A and B are shown apart, each in its own frame.
Chain A
Amino acid sequence: MNICHHPNEELLLDYASGALGEGWSLAIATHLALCPACRRMVDGLEALGGGLLMDTAPGPVSDHLLDSVLARIDKMPENDLAPTPAPASAASSATGPVPVLPQPLRGYVGGDAAELQWQRLGLGAYQIQIPTEGERVTARLLRIPAGRPVPQHSHRGMELTLVLTGAFSDTTGDYGRGDFQEADEDLEHRPHAAPGEDCICLAVTDAPLRFSGGLMRMIQPLLGI
């Protein structure tokens, strides 16, 4: 698998610093599971954060803070302590089918793609809504039937799309498993799922899509997208 489309580095920075909200972070974290190169960049940015912390001038801390912390750790039950991680060989020796949905996404939706109760959207498409923090941001899994287009639309805000299986194309290129698209107000597109396999992707957006066709605009409220 070769990932051609990565999140831009500013998104990786906001993920590493902790500024990025939960819905957007879910898209980044799931891309990271599939992309060692972006994991390396996030590790580097975290190391930069660590360096900034080490170089920070010490500030005044209340006298009682150490006592409060010591009191809490003295009361901490043994089984509250995080266990030492298992050696990496234990994980790599596990064989079995590779899940379509990597972590952390699989945990958010409660299972792998085939185990989910998909909600019909019409036109052969299905969705799973994913609850995340932040009122304006919605995250959902979309399943677009193989070989079919998504109606032409533009965006009122930002939309992040991560392909998990199958593929889609639009004027900006071809997107397969692990590829990441960031769309904003400037992109009007008509993504087309590649033939052969349904395209499942994670889509995170902070505003409803703006469909160009009158019919889609009429039924949009019913679809809830």
Chain B
Amino acid sequence: MNSAETGSDPADRLNSLIVAVGRDRDRAAFQALFTHFAPRLKSFMQGQRTDPGLAEEIVQETMVNVWRKAGQFDPAKASAGTWVFTIARNMRIDLLRKASRPEPDMNDPALVPEPDPPVAELISQEQEAARLRKAFASLPEDQQKVLRLVFFEDKTHAQVSEGLGIPLGTVKSRIRLALKRIRSEVGERE
């Protein structure tokens, strides 16, 4: 990771690009987003999969949906990287499993709202994302490795265990330790 990319300016730039696509259907802004995200999505989705064609299909569907959904992007709720990640993840589920992803509906009258303004909202999404990345970077390499496999390759813990040739119990304890660290950044459950 280049240290220049961790500052808030590039993140602000990506946010404004998505907002410009949503508001003005700005084609140049979209091309700039493509230049930034498509090559990263390609590596992210390919992981150790051997089929680059499928990875490109996911990239294509993701970018088309970035255009389609840009009007819904809210920088106060998620950073640009997180928003694009969730679209790509859903496209991967759609294309690989032909299944939909059940999600809560934030406008559902049955949804239980946050009791108080959550602490997380007091800091910006970029700060939150930067904090989590820092927490991730501070994890031991073996914990980082299992989390990367889980995210990049859409693998369950049993598959990660098989892929790395290490016992399932070890995978689980590494994931648990890593999540404990992440949890301390996100805030305790009451």
Query: Given the complex, which residues of A lie within 8 Å of B176, measured CB to CB?
Result: 9-10
User: For chains A and B in complex, what number of residue pairs have CB atoms within 8 angstroms?
Assistant: 247
Contact surface of B with A, Cβ cutoff 8 Å: 1, 5, 22, 27, 30-31, 34, 37-44, 46, 56, 59-60, 63-64, 67-69, 71-72, 74, 78-86, 88-90, 92-93, 97-115, 118, 120, 125, 128-130, 132-133, 136, 147-148, 150-152, 154-157, 172, 175-176, 179, 182-183, 185-187, 189-190
Q: Are A58 and B43 in contact (CB under 8 A)?
A: yes
Q: Identify 30 residue pairs between A and B in the complex whose beta-carbon atoms are under 8 Å apart, listed by A's number.
A: A13-B150, A18-B101, A25-B101, A28-B102, A29-B102, A34-B112, A40-B186, A43-B186, A44-B128, A46-B85, A49-B89, A50-B79, A51-B81, A52-B85, A53-B44, A53-B81, A55-B133, A61-B42, A69-B64, A72-B60, A80-B68, A81-B68, A83-B72, A86-B107, A99-B110, A101-B110, A102-B104, A103-B108, A104-B102, A104-B104
Check A54–B81 contact: CB distance below 8 A.
Answer: yes
CB-nearest residue of chain B relative to A86? B107
**Closest-CB distance, B98 to chain A (whole angstroms):** 7
- With an 8 A cutoff between CB atoms, is A114 at the interface? no
CB pair B40 A56 closer than 8 Å: yes
Whether B128 and A47, one on each chain, are in contact in the complex, defined by CB atoms closer than 8 angstroms, is yes
Query: Number of residues in A with C-beta < 8 Å to the partner?
Result: 82
Instruction: For the complex, give the distance between the alpha carbons of A161 and B78 in Å.
Output: 30
Q: How distant is the Cα of A35 from the Cα of B113 in the complex, in angstroms?
A: 8
Distance of A38 Cα from B102 Cα, bound (Å) = 15
Instruction: Give me the 5 closest cross-chain CB pairs, A-B, nearest first.
Output: A50-B82, A58-B39, A59-B43, A44-B186, A102-B110
A171 in contact (CB, < 8 A):
no
* Contact (Cβ within 8 A) B99 A103: no
Please judge, given known A-B contacts A25-B102, A50-B79, A55-B133, whether A10 and B31 are in contact too, CB under 8 Å.
no
Are A1 and B112 closer than 8 Å at their CB atoms? yes
Q: Please give me the residue from chain B that is nearest to A1 by CB atom.
A: B112
- Kindly state the separation between the CA atoms of A178 and B100 in the bound complex, as whole angstroms: 23
- What's the minimum C-beta distance from A63 to chain B, rounded to whole angstroms? 11
- Whether the Cβ atoms of B150 and A82 lie closer than 8 Å is no
Q: A65, B60: Cβ atoms under 8 Å? A: yes
Instruction: Determine the chain B residues whose CB is within 8 A of the CB of A80 once the complex forms.
Output: 68
